[in-house]
Structure 1
Amino acid sequence: MMNAPPSGGMPRPNSQESLLLDYVHRLERHRADRRAVHVHLSGLQAQNRREHHTRIAGNTFEQLVKLMQAQVFTLANADLMVIYKAQAQDEVEAAVVKLRFLFSDDPLVIEEQRTRQALFCTWYSLDREYDMLLALAQKMVQEENAKRNAASERKAQEAKFQAQKPKGSPFTPELLARVESSLGQADLANLMRRQAVCAVVGKSPPTPVFHELFISIADLRQTLFPSVNVNSSPWLFQQLTETLDRRVLSMLNKHDDRTLEGDISINLNVSTILSPEFLVFDDNVKAGMRGTIVLELQKVDIFADLGGYLFARDFAHDRGYRICIDGLTYSQLPFVDRERLGADLIKLVWDPSLTEEKDKKTEALRRIGVTRIILCRCDNQAGIEYGHSVGITLFQGRHIESMVQGDPRKRGLRARPRG
């Protein structure tokens, strides 16, 4: 019988791709009178590959399946793979003609007719091309497994995010005023965190390139206002971060632990770079070390005042600092042109979905320049493996921190996990 199209939801051990691979393996000794046709329904326009289209296409071969002349596999991407006995060649060809007629208005079929290229379907004779079909089935299983794993990890991360999502009373202007007053008197040294941005090449241990310095918002909230959801008002939160910027710069100016001698990054607002506090900070930095200090800016802050950003960027570059745009997801990359914005680096947030449509995404990353990308929030080895596969060598995240802590050569480094 024809296998029913797989449904979404939980991972399915017996996916159509797995059943196809198993079937091809069983045909190894019976390949002489077997043939196959791969119908590329995935190449059709979206409106032509809805579920009912896939069902109609599969049913086209139903009579052959009932007569045990063919086996049909409806794949996750909507393609059909039909493996049949050579004696059913005419009937299979007639079914394919029917499918071409069904989708005759689709650009894929029109282009096939115009170019005379086999775009709609690919034919295989198993006595000569068995190994080719076997390799294709194996690739399909690998890709489907990768998609499932990515989807499972995405769901797990979403569940983790929802569980960690701050809860509490709204963040109000009155509360902000009280918090800012408290920040002026509080010792924030215990809330300062350092997290390494490392070069990871091949199987060598991570080598710290610089350390990001930041105030742990989670710890700050727990210390000063545990019952308040600071994310409930983005604009008040922005004001809070500007106050924190000034406190961080003040703390760095007072440090005597050689912090300002370079190899650090600090998160700042655009307005902070143009503030008197930053000028004092700049005066305390040795001129030769400014090139090793990275100023990290948020995309929202940049586009909220693009003119202000361009002025701050030119000032920072003139002084020798480097600019990094922080916290970008892949979907935001088309709207953030690194070169036109004059940024030296970007931080791309690791997400398992980056492994989907990998060729397309890899090309987009290479246009940006993989040597200019830091893959951040790498909480497991999968992020590093993906980064290496596309040429990225700079990484940041909890997993990187654990690798640094586990490397005997690096145990002397002061690196603490993000709060």
Structure 2
Amino acid sequence: MSISWAMMLQERDPTRAERELLDTIERGGRTPAGRTAVQLHLSQLLPSNRPGSRLKIASRLFAPLEISHNLQVFLLSNGDIFVLGRDMPENQVDNIVHRVRSLFDNDPLTFDDFDDGIDPFVTWYAYEVDFSELEMVVRNLLEAAEILRKQRLGTPAPPEPLSPSDLDQLRDKVLALNIRPMLRRQPCIRLRPRQSAEIMFEEITVGITEVRDSIAPGKDIFADRWLFQDFSRTLDAALLAVLPQAPVLARPAAISLNLNLESIDSREFRGLLNVLKPGQKVIAEVQVIDIFTNLAAYQSTRDLLRHNGHGILIDGLSPAMLGAMDMSLLDPDFVKILWAADLAAPQHPRKGEGLADLVSGLGAERVILSRCESEQAMSWGLANGMTAFQGRYMDAILGTVTMQQCPSSSQCILRDCIIRRTSVMGRRRSECPNMPWLDQVQVLSAPSRRRTQ
């Protein structure tokens, strides 16, 4: 599960990062020799192109230089990124700036044609020459953030954040909670030659909103990254404890689970593996932001899973992120690209030559297009070399095939069949007049592609 922790903190206090940045710059101004600041103007991106999760990923691309060259990185409330340091390795920083630019390369801000020779995407400041300008820029950013903070004072109070004292109580509530009705599944379907398709794996998730509403109404369980991560490990354990009882577990060749990296090396995870059929696989889905937090843990987890015949999947990628990240270092078994409608919109001249090559280079069998909610999404994926898809459009296709072949289909409507099939355990699944048939269809005919003019 991807949570933009920095952005959530900024929502609570839009001046926090700006105040810390100004303080750091003013202290550095006392010894300006060799100091540099770099501003990435991501606030100038189109709003649809700068979701909080992508801004967070952009800032984390500088993480290696924070360690190796003691640089400081600030993600501001408006989305701008500042990088500060003494004796900054300019070539390395410039390379990362280029990678950040590629994350947003369908936005006009990243286009290369500048009439005045000034790049609107990035500005470099040398303290010894540009300190007055730098200080004024940051003071203006702080002033804008302060205005935003005052505007938000009149809005309703946000949910009370989770505190350390709440954690033990919530753990006990999770362990006592019946999460079976909150489990959902969604197939990932791979198209094969001759207009056929098969289920690659079933992704099983637990509705975190349902859990929160059941055990902590009025609490913001996402407020603190580390508290939520601790809480989610308890939720992982509850999920892993319940799954061996699920009838759906016996059918698919593979299942996928969104888990913390730590949960994969747990007694509960090993217990799940023990009930799988011979040859049945588990694919652990991890968010790209979590990988940046602990690359070593990701690599060791990936190797452990592979050693035991399972796999790992990196979730939450955009096409631009796929090109900006070094996949040879991460070497996942699968990646998920998130579909968005604007991906099919006409692109600027610099766009269009890259994604199909990236898919081919990584291996089309490893790339999944998720959140497919229309035929347009699937057609776009096919045009870019993808053959695996996941989303509500695929759910509808599978529901249609299930009803066409089910002996009891006269008692149902398509909507009910789809809902029942997404259920893992509980009442909704039991309402099906022919429950075994919900898991029966594993191979199906692929939908015909419409001709385009």
Q: How does 1:59-208 map to 2 (within 5 A)?
A: 168-200=159-191, 204=195, 207-208=198-199
Deviations 1:190-221 (Å, cap 9, x if unpaired)? 11111111124699576422210110112222
Question: Which residue of structure 1 lines up, in the alignment, with residue 296 of structure 2?
Answer: 307
Change (3 A) 1:257 1:390: closer
| Letter matched to residue 302 of structure 1 | I
In the alignment, structure 1 residue 336 sits paired with structure 2 residue 325: yes
CA contact (8 A) 1:252 1:259 kept: no
Instruction: In structure 1, list runs of 5 or more residues that go unmatched.
Output: 1-8, 10-43, 51-166
Question: Which residue of structure 1 lines up, in the alignment, with residue 395 of structure 2?
Answer: 401
Question: Which residue of structure 1 lines up, in the alignment, with residue 421 of structure 2?
Answer: 415
Question: Which residue of structure 2 lines up, in the alignment, with residue 47 of structure 1?
Answer: 114
CA contact (8 A) 2:182 2:211 kept: yes
CA contact (8 A) 1:194 1:416 kept: yes
Question: Which residue of structure 2 lines up, in the alignment, with residue 220 of structure 1?
Answer: 211
| Letter matched to residue 364 of structure 2 | V
| Letter matched to residue 356 of structure 2 | T
Instruction: Quote the Cα distance in structure 1 between the aligned partners of 2:196 and 2:209.
Output: 30
| Letter matched to residue 305 of structure 2 | A
Change (3 A) 1:352 1:359: farther
Query: Match for 1:296 among 285, 305, 321?
Result: 285
Change (3 A) 1:330 1:257: closer
Query: Match for 1:322 among 311, 327, 336?
Result: 311
Deviations 1:227-277 (Å, cap 9, x if unpaired)? 233333333222222111111111123445544874211111111111222
Change (3 A) 1:177 1:259: farther
Instruction: In structure 2, list runs of 5 or more residues that go unmatched.
Output: 1-45, 47-110, 118-157, 407-416, 425-453
The structure showing larger relative contact order (alpha-carbon pairs under 8 Å, at least 6 residues apart) is 2
Using the TM superposition, give the Cα deviation of residue 222 of structure 1 relative to its aligned residue in structure 2, in angstroms. 2.3
Question: Which residue of structure 2 lines up, in the alignment, with residue 71 of structure 1?
Answer: none
Deviations 1:1-60 (Å, cap 9, x if unpaired)? xxxxxxxx9xxxxxxxxxxxxxxxxxxxxxxxxxxxxxxxxxx9522289xxxxxxxxxx
Instruction: Quote the Cα distance in structure 2 between the aligned partners of 1:350 and 1:265.
Output: 19
* Runs (4+) off by over 6 Å: 410-413
Using the TM superposition, give the Cα deviation of residue 409 of structure 1 relative to its aligned residue in structure 2, in angstroms. 4.5
CA contact (8 A) 1:195 1:213 kept: yes
Change (3 A) 1:409 1:268: farther
Question: Which residue of structure 2 lines up, in the alignment, with residue 34 of structure 1?
Answer: none
Q: How does 1:265-284 map to 2 (within 5 A)?
A: 265-284=256-275
Change (3 A) 1:400 1:410: farther
Instruction: Quote the Cα distance in structure 2 between the aligned partners of 1:354 and 1:198.
Output: 21
| Letter matched to residue 416 of structure 1 | T
Change (3 A) 1:222 1:270: same
Count of aligned residue pairs for this structure pair: 260
Instruction: Quote the Cα distance in structure 1 between the aligned partners of 2:194 and 2:342.
Output: 24
Instruction: Quote the Cα distance in structure 2 between the aligned partners of 1:346 and 1:182.
Output: 34
Local SS of the residue matching 1:198: strand
* RMSD (CA atoms): 3.2
Local SS of the residue matching 1:232: coil
Instruction: Quote the Cα distance in structure 2 between the aligned partners of 1:224 and 1:380.
Output: 35
| Letter matched to residue 305 of structure 1 | N
Instruction: Quote the Cα distance in structure 2 between the aligned partners of 1:410 and 1:231.
Output: 43
Instruction: Quote the Cα distance in structure 2 between the aligned partners of 1:317 and 1:341.
Output: 14
Change (3 A) 1:187 1:359: same
Instruction: Quote the Cα distance in structure 1 between the aligned partners of 2:248 and 2:211.
Output: 23
Change (3 A) 1:409 1:296: farther
Question: Which residue of structure 2 lines up, in the alignment, with residue 210 of structure 1?
Answer: 201
Using the TM superposition, give the Cα deviation of residue 295 of structure 1 relative to its aligned residue in structure 2, in angstroms. 1.6
TM-score by length of 2: 0.51
Question: Which residue of structure 2 lines up, in the alignment, with residue 116 of structure 1?
Answer: none
Instruction: Point out the more displaced range, 207-216 or 316-325.
Output: 207-216
CA contact (8 A) 2:284 2:313 kept: yes
Using the TM superposition, give the Cα deviation of residue 388 of structure 1 relative to its aligned residue in structure 2, in angstroms. 1.1
CA contact (8 A) 1:297 1:326 kept: yes
| Letter matched to residue 354 of structure 1 | L
Instruction: Quote the Cα distance in structure 2 between the aligned partners of 1:286 and 1:387.
Output: 32
CA contact (8 A) 2:167 2:227 kept: yes
| Letter matched to residue 284 of structure 2 | L
Deviations 1:163-209 (Å, cap 9, x if unpaired)? xxxx6332332333322110111111011111111124699576422
Instruction: Quote the Cα distance in structure 1 between the aligned partners of 2:405 and 2:200.
Output: 12
CA contact (8 A) 1:206 1:400 kept: no
Local SS of the residue matching 1:363: helix
Instruction: Quote the Cα distance in structure 2 between the aligned partners of 1:402 and 1:417.
Output: 14
Question: Which residue of structure 2 lines up, in the alignment, with residue 243 of structure 1?
Answer: 234
